[in-house]
Structure 1
């Protein structure tokens, strides 16, 4: 299940990568009133970004059910990938803290620094020490959940990636976004924040080949986790049927 929060906030190339790796995506455009399931009916959950806080239920009433489904996925050890708002939502559901307009905003291609804890992570192992990724946020995680594994940081935002439990990951950046998306952002707001929109676009173009190559690897590894989890669940169900 892929939860989409805004019209322009789709899975983009991440969806293509996961499809290519054998996952069938059920995209729920919750922003237009499409109903999320009452209980988790999927093998894994991807929660995309959007201009909300994780508990902004008044503006985005579907977030309450999104949080419930993420909590259910955690309880059932179903793989989760949260991106930007999705990563913040995962952090909050697991006991972390998210704050609005905290620290300095990040926009455009940004160096993501891998921490030592990433070296043996199922998704992040063997990545270069620094990998570029596109950012577009003001809100941020200010405290990770207890027992979360802190995987990556940036100069302006410390909590860029983390793992919770065996198979739930949250990232602040956007592995799915390509440079052309920057041209759709509010240029006046970017300038007020001290960013040159055209320079952001040029830098993202420069970084895109490396960015796509490495985040493609991470996407493939997430697909592997989903397949392995599905195989394990199927084997457990078969065992229950054989020994009721």
Structure 2
């Protein structure tokens, strides 16, 4: 399944960015020896089809809702890409909005401005037994505390309220149940493993109800743990992409 380009043996991972201030951030370095192809959908770049993404796909977050097609006219193509990639065996990671788009694309339900309110700052992601040994998030369970929890940044008000049929529920938080899930060859995480302090500051400053100083203080207090978990997820996903790319293609 590998797709080397011009003799480059590195696996290719396509990254779809929907908002200019929601970048790949620290994941760019943590993914390691892969070729990243960034698609700036917010700037008018075309969303590829599943056969064009290479060996892996990452769909980042954004400020629009998962069904805000009028504001973000590329969303129908992005939902179609996520649906196709997840059934065609392309290793896929959806982050925040990316996770919501994945859920919606596969028949789940996303609620805009969900009643619990905005989940912001550093949250405890609690891993379910189903996450133990998982090809991608199993590495995060290995870093969890005695409650099987790991700290991660969060910034969202919309939420997945029903998982798609056939999805495996992997993690929850105190405010929102569906913090991570797997369906087909795709994983969705509601939290932001890629986000560093400056990215988080920009998001917090954009919401009047969010105390930026409190968010940054919580991040600083747990930065070593947050970073270790985010890096582990990126490295585990990249390893899964490489392993999948090396699998022989069946006739």
Please, what TM-score do these two structures have when normalized by structure 1? Answer: 0.89
SS across alignment from 1:185: helix
Which residue pairs with 2:200 in the alignment?
A: 182
Q: How many residues align?
A: 230
Which residue pairs with 1:159 in the alignment?
A: 178
Which residue pairs with 1:16 in the alignment?
A: 29
Correspondent of 1:96 among 108, 130, 142: 108
SS across alignment from 1:2: strand
Shift of 1:186: 5.1
SS across alignment from 1:204: helix
1:64 and 2:76 are equivalent in the alignment: yes
Q: Name the structure where helix makes up a greater proportion of residues.
A: 1
SS across alignment from 2:238: helix
SS across alignment from 2:249: helix
Which residue pairs with 2:163 in the alignment?
A: 144
Shift of 1:187: 3.7
CA contact (8 A) 1:135 1:174 kept: yes
Shift of 1:120: 2.1
Shift of 1:183: 2.4
In the superposition, relative to structure 1, how do residues 43 and 188 fare at CA in structure 2: closer, same or farther (>3 Å)?
closer
In the superposition, relative to structure 1, how do residues 198 and 148 fare at CA in structure 2: closer, same or farther (>3 Å)?
same
Shift of 1:38: 4.6
Shift of 1:144: 0.6
1:202 and 2:217 are equivalent in the alignment: yes
Shift of 1:182: 2.9
SS across alignment from 1:26: strand
CA contact (8 A) 1:115 1:151 kept: yes
For structure 2, list consecutive stretches of 5 or more residues without a partner in the other structure.
Answer: 1-13
Which residue pairs with 2:17 in the alignment?
A: 4
CA contact (8 A) 1:104 1:157 kept: no
Deviations 1:120-159 (A, max 9, x none): 2112222311111111100000001112111111111110
Which residue pairs with 1:113 in the alignment?
A: 126
Higher RCO, Cα 8 Å, sep 6+: 2
1:220 and 2:227 are equivalent in the alignment: no
For structure 1, list consecutive stretches of 5 or more residues without a partner in the other structure.
Answer: none
CA contact (8 A) 1:105 1:156 kept: no
* RMSD over aligned Cα atoms: 1.5
